[in-house]
Structure 1
Amino acid sequence: MSFDLFKYLTTLGFIYIYGRLILHYGKMFWAYMMNERILWNTKIEKPRILFMGMGLGVMHLAFYSRYTIESDTLIVLAISFLVFLAGFFLSILPWTDKFKNSIQSQKSAGSLKKNKNFNLKISEDQAQKLYHNLMKYDLLNIEKTSLLDFRNVLSKDWDAHNSKIHFNMDGPSSREFYEFLSQTFPKNTMTIKNLFITSDLVLRANGKKYKYNTLKNAHTRTPYSKNNQALNKIFQDLR
């Protein structure tokens, strides 16, 4: 029995792509089953699913055509494999940092055209409740952040006040705070970069800025932060 190199390589390709899908969306499914809040970033996940769908479609088409076309010539094999590689490339593209940064930058570009404001649709009562719950779990430096500071930062133009928010949270926890906040109050022009970097309004407890690369790559190092359960309860309480 001859060794089928095409079948071997394409099988590895399918295992890799479907493996990534299972690992990524399996975590979301598990969170759903455990009644935990799902961190679903629509701005990234929708384009990702589109590219994955197109890529896998092309991969399956190439695999199917290889074994239905009654020809074993080298050129047919080469074309089938090149088409498979094109589909494989489409499938891995949405997992790259370049793809995610491109999607996020499009949102940022739209935000820059508007006022220097997060445009966060949150009521005073909701802001007060969020403030007190963050204080309850010691995630906020209350010596440097009053309730008025907290409201000003979230609701007013950046240059209309002198308030700052000082968090008692590391990079991964702060990223999850942003994700929970933007999903609980989806009507906003907030990005992780303008919240923690551009605005210069949200700082660490020591008054220093967060590092953008630390925030951006937090999920690759720790899927869930050490304050994930506390943040989950805080935002569940705002529903």
Structure 2
Amino acid sequence: MSFDLFPYLTSIAFIYIYGRLANHFAPKIYCYFLNESIVWQKQIEKPRIFLHLIGLSFMHLMVYSNSSIEITGLLIQFITWLTFILGFFACQFTWTKKFEATFTPQLKRSTARSSENFNLSISDLQLIQLYNELVRFDLLNQDLTTVEDFNNVLLKDWKEHNSKLHLKMDGPSCREFYEYFIRTYPNNSLTMKNLFVTSKLVLRADGKSYNYNTIKNAPIRTAVSKHNESLIKIFRKLS
């Protein structure tokens, strides 16, 4: 009795592909049914879905062929395996940075660096991902800070808008947030003082301004903030 490895490996591949799809789209579906705002990037999500439809179609077709047709000959088996693998990699490609870089529209920003701007070097997709992660870990007041507010505060000149960024973090957590941010996006000249004091755009959950000395001296009083694990997970996912 011969042992057919094909069904077992294909089952693992399907679990991986569908699991990753569920993990990515489930929060969006959840927000849809709760009538909450959904961050949907058509330029990247539509190609992702299209490639998954193609890849999964080939994968399912090869599984069907293997189970219903009596396959004989090494050439037929090779074609079946090769087609399934190509379908799998078509799906997997959509989760790579190369795919995101290809389909993410780059915002044309002025090369002039303003003294009243954070001058961040960060893509629109990265900003949206950061916003979603902060909301997911309840570190940002979503009711007072929309995605548009988030983008306005971090990208535009401070006097060009009326948006504010309301964080649900204490001083030590803000210090760690700043440190993780500049490590994850090193090509930035963002300063802690500009972020929390000079701009007057980043506020506490109660709407008051942060005390710069509290944030600056946080490591002396608190070695690890209460949101340390959440911040590690957020920036690990973004890196």
**What TM-score does the superposition give when structure 1 sets the normalisation length?**
0.52
Alpha carbons of 1:228 and 1:96: their partners in 2 closer, same or farther (altered >3 Å)?
farther
- Measure, in 2, the Cα distance between the counterparts of 1:54 and 1:11: 18
**TM-fit CA distance, 1:57:** 0.5
Secondary structure of the residue aligned to 1:24 is: helix
Q: Which residue of 1 aligns with 2:19?
A: 19
Larger helix percent? 1
Q: CA RMSD in A?
A: 3.1
- Measure, in 2, the Cα distance between the counterparts of 1:220 and 1:56: 30
How many residues were matched structurally?
145
**TM-fit CA distance, 1:49:** 0.9
Q: Which residue of 1 aligns with 2:121?
A: 211
Secondary structure of the residue aligned to 1:38 is: coil
Counterpart check, 1:223 vs 2:133: yes
Alpha carbons of 1:43 and 1:2: their partners in 2 closer, same or farther (altered >3 Å)?
same
Relative to structure 2, which stretch is displaced further, 84-93 or 2-11?
2-11
Q: Which residue of 1 aligns with 2:37?
A: 37
Please identify runs of 4+ aligned residues in structure 1 that moved more than 3 A. Answer: 198-203, 232-235
Secondary structure of the residue aligned to 2:145 is: helix
Q: Which residue of 2 aligns with 1:154?
A: none
Structure 2 counterparts to residues 14-163 of structure 1, below 5 A: 14-104=14-104, 107-108=105-106
- Measure, in 2, the Cα distance between the counterparts of 1:57 and 1:81: 14
**TM-fit CA distance, 1:29:** 0.7
Higher relative contact order (CA 8 A, sep 6+): 1
Q: Check the 8 A contact 2:39/2:128 in 1, yes or no.
A: no
Unaligned stretches of 5+ residues in structure 1: 109-190
Alpha carbons of 1:202 and 1:53: their partners in 2 closer, same or farther (altered >3 Å)?
farther
Alpha carbons of 1:2 and 1:223: their partners in 2 closer, same or farther (altered >3 Å)?
farther
Q: Check the 8 A contact 2:55/2:87 in 1, yes or no.
A: yes
Q: Which residue of 1 aligns with 2:218?
A: none
Q: Check the 8 A contact 1:36/1:232 in 2, yes or no.
A: no
Q: Which residue of 1 aligns with 2:171?
A: none
Secondary structure of the residue aligned to 1:231 is: coil
Offset from partner CA, 1:32-59 (integer Å, 9 cap, x none): 1222101011111111111111111011
- Measure, in 2, the Cα distance between the counterparts of 1:16 and 1:51: 16
Alpha carbons of 1:214 and 1:50: their partners in 2 closer, same or farther (altered >3 Å)?
closer
Unaligned stretches of 5+ residues in structure 2: 150-239
Identity fraction in percent: 36
Q: Given residue 231 of structure 1, which amino acid in structure 2 is its aligned partner?
A: T
Q: Which residue of 2 aligns with 1:171?
A: none
Q: Given residue 27 of structure 2, which amino acid in structure 1 is its aligned partner?
A: K
**TM-fit CA distance, 1:97:** 1.1
